Amino acid sequence: MFFGFDKRGDIVPNFLYGSEQKTINLLFLTQFNSCVENELKIPLKYAKNGDLKDIFTKMVKALLMPKELKFSKANKFCITSNLILFSLFNSTKPPILASKPSLKAAKLASMFLNDGLVFNANELFRNFIFNKISRIHQDKKVYIENGIIYISVQDKPVVGILPAFKTFDIDDKKSYEKEIKLALNLSKKTPRIYIALPRQKGLKKHITVQACELDSANSCVKIVPYSITNKVFIKKFMDNNI
């Protein structure tokens, strides 16, 4: 399952089929921004600008717009940056380059110049959650192991988060059976396991999983709707469960 765009257009997970373009753009940009350096982040206002490729192209153009005149030391001419930008705006074959571009616009353009920009949707979602939780719980150890996000206190994992970027249908148990089995297995060493899915029409509140496999009253497995937003919305919930 992939999320991004190539020469043919947007590539979106099944979860987003039929969604408005602005919704798709916002979800992608929010997750993209959480995974890149500050200089490559794209303001969310660009979400209204066409499809994903349009957004990235317009952002490159915006970075090339002349800024307010300032008297400062001139920057060196970057051949690599200019070759990348020439290729983008003239639709020519991307150059084979021996050095990295120095201009922000060229750095961003180089990310999608060849075959677009496509991410594994689940990995993108996991990295977004990891970065958000790491910022919230700076006093705790947060790490990823075998695709699971763990929060550790005194070198002991107390919370495990299993990200799953997919559609949730409570009546279709087979669609989330794999995640439930994995979560129950993980609960043997970590008392609290949360299966995090994108917040959606069929999933707007926590669902507690009832299973005889849970070892004790202190163990729990929950399916949790996770909003893809810049807001810090889970701090209170997480603090109350650690």
Query: Which of the listed residues 115, 137, 157 is the one where a domain comes to its end?
Result: 115
Determine the average pLDDT of the residues in 96-125.
Answer: 90
Q: Which of 92, 115, 138 is the last residue of a domain?
A: 115
Q: Which CATH number is 161's domain given?
A: 3.40.1350.70
* Least confident window among 15-29, 87-101, 175-189: 87-101
Give yes or no: residues 83 and 168 share one domain: no
Residue 159 sits in the same domain as residue 105: no
Q: What is the pLDDT of residue 140?
A: 93
Whether 204 and 153 map to the same domain: the answer is yes
Q: Are residues 111 and 184 in the same domain?
A: no
**Range with lowest mean pLDDT among 74-78, 92-96, 146-150, 186-190:** 74-78
- Amino acid occupying residue 235: K
Q: Which tens digits make up the pLDDT trace of 223-236?
A: 999 999 876 544 44
Percent residues over pLDDT 70 in the chain:
89
* Residues 99, 140 within the same domain: no
Out of 119-123, 130-134, 163-167, 201-205, least confident range:
201-205
133/231 same-domain check: yes
Query: How confident is the model at residue 210, as a pLDDT?
Result: 86
Can you point out the beta strands (E) in the chain? 2-6, 9-11, 117-120, 141-145, 148-153, 156-163, 192-198, 207-208, 220-226
Q: How far is CA 111 from CA 5, 30, 103, 114, 192, in A?
A: 11, 17, 13, 8, 38
What mean pLDDT value characterizes the chain?
Answer: 88
pLDDT at 73: 56
Residues 232 and 138 reside in one and the same domain:
yes
Domain that holds residue 206: 121-239
Domain stops at, among 115, 134, 150: 115
Name, in order, each residue with C-beta under 8 angstroms of 94's C-beta and a sequence gap of 6 or more.
84, 87, 113, 114
Whole-number pLDDT of residue 206 = 94
Kindly tell me if the per-residue pLDDT of 114 is higher than 70. yes
| Confidence grade of residue 146 (pLDDT, cut at 50, 70, 90) | very high
Q: What is the mean pLDDT of residues 166-192?
A: 92
Q: What is the mean pLDDT of residues 56-62?
A: 95
- Tokens 């380059």, residue located: 97
The number of domains in the chain is 2
Residues 211-222: pLDDT tens digits? 877 776 778 999
Clarify whether residues 35 and 93 are in a common domain.
Answer: yes
Q: Are residues 126 and 226 in the same domain?
A: yes
In the predicted model, what is the mean pLDDT of residues 41-54? 94
Q: What is the pLDDT of residues 62-108, one digit of tens each?
A: 999 876 545 455 567 788 999 999 999 988 888 877 678 999 999 99
Which pLDDT band, with edges at 50, 70 and 90, does 27 fall under?
A: very high
The total number of residues written for the chain in this structure: 242
Q: What is the pLDDT of residue 98?
A: 61
Task: Characterise 78 by phi-psi region: left (phi > 0), alpha (psi -120 to 50), beta (else).
Answer: beta
Q: Please state, as a whole number, how many other Cβ atoms lie within 10 Å of the Cβ of residue 199.
A: 16
pTM, entire model: 0.85
